[in-house]
Amino acid sequence: MSLHVTTATAGHAPIVASLITALTQEICDRTNDQSHFDHNEPLTARLCARWIEEGIYTVLLAYSGEQAVGVVTIAESHALYAEGKIGIIQECYVLPQYRSQSAGSALLEAALVLAPQRGWACMELCTPPLPEFAGALQFYERHAFRAVGGRKMRVRCRAG
């Protein structure tokens, strides 16, 4: 399989939104809990396009031929504990039929190349729920990510 990774433009937003829809649906299905996300694909596409245009979101797409088969989205933040800027992988997804074919590895490797270019002291991510996604945890560990403790937590701060 011939894979290539490209940096998405605002024009790629509908493709990104479709992959993020698949990610959120897989999490809900595998955990048997539809309350994890209230996902709106058209809104996701609009936000993605705007954030790419504003330069506040970096999106990498993996392609097999002409088909987008995976995505990584990255936001920049700052952390005193890291003594500087950090890259946060917000979403990482590969279509199931392309897993174990290096698409995820190619995406993570491309993301890690960005770190020194952007001056990020580290890159962070949160795994999907465990134990349902233990394979994802193992995948990230194989790519030098290490658990630093805790669980991702959320509180909604806006209506809707």
Return per-residue pLDDT of the chain as tens, 160 residues. Answer: 689 999 999 999 999 999 999 999 999 999 998 777 888 999 999 999 999 999 999 999 999 999 999 999 999 999 999 999 999 999 999 999 999 899 999 999 999 999 999 999 999 999 988 899 999 999 999 999 999 987 777 787 865 4
The domain tally of the chain equals 1
Domain contains 17? yes
3-class state of residue 61 by DSSP: strand
Nearest partner of 36 among 45, 46, 26, 51, judged by Cα? 26
Domain contains 16? yes
Domain contains 82? yes
Model-level pTM greater than 0.75?
yes
pLDDT given at position 149: 82
pLDDT given at position 33: 83
CATH number at residue 109: 3.40.630.30
Residues 43-52: tens digit of each pLDDT: 999 999 999 9
Query: How many other CB atoms are there within 10 angstroms of residue 48's CB atom?
Result: 23
Domain that holds residue 98: 3-142
Domain contains 150? no
Domain contains 45? yes
Token readout for 113 is 């190349």
pLDDT given at position 95: 98
Domain contains 154? no
C-alpha neighbours within 13 Å on the C-beta side of residue 64: 12
pLDDT given at position 1: 63
Sequence-ordered list of residues with C-beta below 8 angstroms from that of 123, at least 6 positions apart, any chain: 74, 86, 87, 88, 89, 111, 112, 115, 145
Domain contains 155? no
pLDDT given at position 159: 56
Domain contains 96? yes
